[in-house]
Amino acid sequence: MTTSASDTRVPVYFDCDTGIDDTLALVYLLSRTTHRTVGIGTVSGNVSAEQGARNTLDLLKLQGFEDIPVAVGQFDHFRAPYAGGPAHIHGVNGVGDVDLDRGGEPIAEDAADLLIRLSHEHDGALEIIAIGPLTNLAIALERDPSLGSRVARVTIMGGAALAPGNLSPAAEANIAHDPEAAAAVFEAAWPVTMVGLDVTMHHRLTHDDREQLAAAEGELQQTVAAILETYYRFYDTILGVRECTLHDPLAVAIATGDVVPSLAPVVKVEVETGSGPARGATVADLRGMYRGNPPVEGARHTVVLTVDEPFGPQLLQELLKA
Amino acid sequence: MTTSASDTRVPVYFDCDTGIDDTLALVYLLSRTTHRTVGIGTVSGNVSAEQGARNTLDLLKLQGFEDIPVAVGQFDHFRAPYAGGPAHIHGVNGVGDVDLDRGGEPIAEDAADLLIRLSHEHDGALEIIAIGPLTNLAIALERDPSLGSRVARVTIMGGAALAPGNLSPAAEANIAHDPEAAAAVFEAAWPVTMVGLDVTMHHRLTHDDREQLAAAEGELQQTVAAILETYYRFYDTILGVRECTLHDPLAVAIATGDVVPSLAPVVKVEVETGSGPARGATVADLRGMYRGNPPVEGARHTVVLTVDEPFGPQLLQELLKA
C-alpha cells in the first residue's frame, strides 16, 4: 500500500460497526484495486465502537492490512445511549463468536478527528463509505462544518425509501439507532448515495456459497465461513432459508462502482426525527416516479432503488480470490 | 330504492369531498346493485364541505337518487383550518366548473351525526366508504366511541404504504389534510381497508375513454365527460398524457368487491402526526413482506398493494351503462 502523491486510487474513509456483514464489506473493500482505504472509524451498532475496532483490527491482521489506521468512534448516539448490539444476529463479539488472532491497536484520535484529518490530507478526493449508524460523521460535521466541502461523496448503507423498515415499520436499523445523526448527514453539503433496504434485502449469499468458502484453502475464506454461521442461523428464522442478505457489502460495491444500480434517482432525502411511528424514516421525495423521474434541481441524494444483477455470485468470487 | 328489512344489499355510508374523481366514484357506487347508499356526508378537501354537498346533491338529481340524504360535514380539519381546494385540479366549483342542474338540499344533521344514526339503523351491517379527509369519521368517533362496534368495515381512499406521497414526499393528500383524524380512524376498533397511492396511481381513464363518454347519448355520460376535462388538463401536466388516475372510484370498487386486490396484507397501520417531514405518512408494518407475509395476530388494517386487472376499462363500461 502506497501513500505517494501519484497514487491514483480513490482514498476511502470507512465507517463501520463490525459486525458480520461489515466483515464481508471490509474484505470486499480491501480487495478493490481501484480504491485505497486510508482510515477506518468505528461506531456502536452491531457491537460497541470499542469491540468494532477490535474486530476490525483483527480482520486487518488476517488480511495483511495492518497499516490502515483504525479509530474508535462514538459509543453513544445523539439522543439515546448505546443499548448493546443484537448478539443473536452477530454473536456476542460481533464476528459470530469466532476467536480471531489479535491484531494491532486503535490510534489515539477518535473517528471524527481521523475523518477530519483525512479530509484535509485528501481534500476533494476523499470518499466516505459508512455502513453503521451515522454518529461519527455527524460529530465530525459538528466539529468542522466545512468538512462537507472536502469530501467527494458519502455512500451509506442505511434507510428504506419505498421498502418497509426493519428495526421498526418505518425505519432501517442504522438510521433508527441515530436519526439525529442521519438527519445531519443528509443536510450537509456533500453528495450522499443511500443504499437501503430497497435493494440490500434482494441480494444474498446462499448456503452453497458459504460451503464453498468453508472448503477453500485460505485461512481468510475459512474464517469468513465460520463467522457467517451465526448470521445464517439468524436469517434462517427471518427468511426461512440459510442465506444472508448483503446490506453492507452491496453498499461498498456501489460506492466503488463495481455494481451499477439500474434505478437511482437523485432527489432530496430528509430524516424523520420526531418521536412518532415514522421516527428514523428516510423520507425521499420520489414523487418524480409518477412522471418519469425528471432531474431535480439542486438535489444531491442518490437513492438506490434497483440493482438488476444479483450481487451474491460476484461477492463470492471476490471472497474466494481475496 | 327500498328500505325494507328484507333488503339484502349492503348499506353504505359514503363520505366524500366531491371533486372530479369523487364524481366518478359516486356514479360508480350508485350503479352497484349489491350495495345501497343510505347516506352521504361531505368534508372539506377538493372543495369545501358545503360545496361538496351542493355538487353531490346535483349529481344525485342527475342520476335519479334524490332520496339519499346528504349531510354537510366538517369545514375545518382537526389541527388546520381548511385552506381552500385545488381549483387547478378540480375546477373552482369542484366539478370542473360545469354548471349542474340544481338538486335538493342537505339535511339538518351534520355528517358525523348522520353516520352515528345510520350505524344504529344498520347495526353491524353498515359499511363506510370514505374518499376524502377523514375528519367526519373522527368527529363521529369522538362523539360516540362505540361507533366502531356497529360498523362492518371502513374502506378509505388515502395513504401511501410503499409508494411516494403526493401532497408531500411522505403523505397522500387525504391523510395529509387531517393526519390527526386519520390516526383516530386507524386506531378505532373497526377493520379498515386502505386503498392508497400504491394502487390508485396505476389505474387510469384514457383520452379515448373520455371521448366515448362525450359521444354517448345519455346526459349523465356527457356531463361526466365535461366534468373530466379540467381533471385531464391537470393530469396532462403531471403524467404527460391526457389521462386521469382513478383514486376514488378504485376505492369504491374494492369496497364493493368488484375489484379484488392481488396483494393486500392485513397489518397494523399508524399515522404519523408529528410536525416533521413524515407528517401524514401512513406507516404500515409491512415487514412481513420480507418473509412471505405471514398472518399478523390482531391486525385489522388491510393495505391494498397490488391490483392486477386494469380498472379503467371496467369503470368505463359501468359509466356508459349508468
Q: What is the pLDDT of residues A229-277, one digit of tens each?
A: 999 999 998 888 899 999 999 999 999 999 999 999 999 999 999 999 9
Phi/psi region, residue A151 (left: phi>0; alpha: psi -120 to 50; beta: rest), is beta
Per-residue pLDDT of A33-86, as tens digits, reads 999 999 999 999 999 999 999 999 999 999 999 999 999 999 999 999 999 999
Residue A180 has what DSSP assignment? H
Q: Which residues of A touch B294 (CB under 8 A)?
A: none
Per-residue pLDDT of B47-61, as tens digits, reads 999 999 999 999 999
Residue A67 has what DSSP assignment? T
Name which of B240, B270, B290 is nearest A277 (Cβ-Cβ): B270
Residue of B nearest to A291 (CA): B239
Residue of B nearest to A278 (CA): B272
Q: Which residues of A touch B186 (CB under 8 A)?
A: none
Q: What is the pLDDT of residue B136?
A: 98
Q: What is the pLDDT of residue A5?
A: 62
- Please identify which residue in the block is written with the cell numbers 335538493: B104
A277·B283 Cβ contact <8 A = yes
Q: What percent of chain A has pLDDT over 70?
A: 98
- Please identify which residue in the block is written with the cell numbers 381549483: B87
What is the spatial distance between Cα B147 and Cα B157, in angstroms, rounded to a whole number? 20
Q: What is the pLDDT of residue A1?
A: 40
Cell of B49: 364541505
The class (CATH top level) of A10-321 is alpha beta
The stretch B179-208 carries a mean pLDDT of: 97
What is the spatial distance between Cα B80 and Cα A262, in angstroms, rounded to a whole number? 41
The stretch B73-98 carries a mean pLDDT of: 94
A296 inside 8 A of chain B by CB: no
Angle at Cα A73 formed by Cα A249 and Cα A230, nearest 5°?
Answer: 45
Nearest to A17 by CA among A126, A178, A255: A178
B164 inside 8 A of chain A by CB: yes
Cell of B36: 345501497
Report residue A2's pLDDT band, with 50, 70 and 90 as the boundaries. very low
Tell me whether residue A285 is one of the annotated catalytic residues: no
A 186-205: CB under 8 A from B: 201
Q: Which residues of B touch A287 (CB under 8 A)?
A: 164-166, 169
Report residue B291's pLDDT band, with 50, 70 and 90 as the boundaries. confident
What is the spatial distance between Cα B132 and Cα B85, in angstroms, rounded to a whole number? 12
The stretch A12-26 carries a mean pLDDT of: 96
Which of B198, B200, B287, B303 best probes binding to A when mutated, by most A CB atoms within 10 angstroms? B287
Q: pTM of the entire structure?
A: 0.94
A276·B277 Cβ contact <8 A = no
Q: What is the pLDDT of residue B238?
A: 82
Q: What is the pLDDT of residue B240?
A: 85
Q: Which residues of A touch B275 (CB under 8 A)?
A: 274
Q: What is the pLDDT of residue A4?
A: 56
- Please identify which residue in the block is written with the cell numbers 399478523: B296
Burial class (CB in 10 A: 0-12, 13-18, 19+), B295: exposed
B272·A272 Cβ contact <8 A = yes
Instruction: Say yes or no: ipTM exceeds 0.90.
Output: yes
Nearest to B165 by CA among A273, A170, A289: A289
Cell of B154: 371502513
| Residues of B classed as catalytic | 17, 247
A283·B239 Cβ contact <8 A = no
Cis peptide before A19 (omega within 30 of 0): yes
A209 inside 8 A of chain B by CB: no
Which residues, in sequence order, are bridge partners of residue A81? Answer: none
Per-residue pLDDT of B133-185, as tens digits, reads 999 999 999 999 999 999 999 999 999 999 999 999 999 999 999 999 999 99
User: Which residue among A77, A90, A177, A247 is the active-site one?
Assistant: A247
Cα R_g (chain A), whole angstroms: 18
State the smallest CA–CA distance between residue A180 and chain B in angstroms. 12
Report residue B5's pLDDT band, with 50, 70 and 90 as the boundaries. low
The stretch A209-214 carries a mean pLDDT of: 97
A124 inside 8 A of chain B by CB: no
Nearest to A195 by CA among A224, A213, A174: A174
> Is the Cβ–Cβ distance between B172 and A287 less than 8 Å?
no
H/E element, A31:
helix A20-31
A281 inside 8 A of chain B by CB: yes
Residue of B nearest to A267 (CA): B169
Angle at Cα A281 formed by Cα A276 and Cα A282, nearest 5°?
Answer: 150
Q: What is the pLDDT of residue A295?
A: 92
Per-residue pLDDT of B7-18, as tens digits, reads 899 999 999 999
Neighbours of A262 (CB within 10 A): 11
Q: What is the pLDDT of residue B4?
A: 56
Residue of A nearest to B267 (CA): A169
H/E element, A283:
strand A282-284
Cis peptide before B19 (omega within 30 of 0): yes
What is the spatial distance between Cα A120 and Cα A146, in angstroms, rounded to a whole number? 11
In the predicted model, is pLDDT for residue A3 greater than 80?
no
Helix (H, G, I), strand (E, B), or coil: what is residue A284? strand
Helix then strand then coil, in percent of chain A rounded to 5, is 40, 15, 45
Report residue B46's pLDDT band, with 50, 70 and 90 as the boundaries. very high
Report residue B293's pLDDT band, with 50, 70 and 90 as the boundaries. confident
In the predicted model, is pLDDT for residue A298 greater than 80?
yes
A263 inside 8 A of chain B by CB: no
State the smallest CA–CA distance between residue A181 and chain B in angstroms. 15
Three-state SS sequence of chain B: CCCCCCCCCEEEEEEECCCHHHHHHHHHHHHCCCEEEEEEEECCCCCCHHHHHHHHHHHHHHHCCCCCCEEECCCCCCCCCCCCCCHHHHCCCCCCCCCCCCCCCCCCCCHHHHHHHHHHHCCCCEEEEECCCCHHHHHHHHHCHHHHHHEEEEEEECCCCCCCCCCCCCCCHHHHHCHHHHHHHHHCCCCEEEECHHHHCCCEECHHHHHHHHHCCCHHHHHHHHHHHHHHHHHHHHHCCCCEECHHHHHHHHHCCCCCCCECCEECEEECCCCCCCCCCEEECCHHHHHCCCCCCCCCEEECCECCCCCHHHHHHHHHHC
Q: Determine the longest span between alpha carbons in chain A, in angstroms.
A: 55
> Is the Cβ–Cβ distance between A98 and A19 less than 8 Å?
no
Q: What is the pLDDT of residue B216?
A: 97
User: Which residue among A15, A17, A110, A178 is the active-site one?
Assistant: A17
A239·B291 Cβ contact <8 A = yes
Nearest to A68 by CA among A17, A125, A121, A106: A106
Per-residue pLDDT of B226-283, as tens digits, reads 999 999 999 998 888 899 999 999 999 999 999 999 999 999 999 999 999 999 999 9
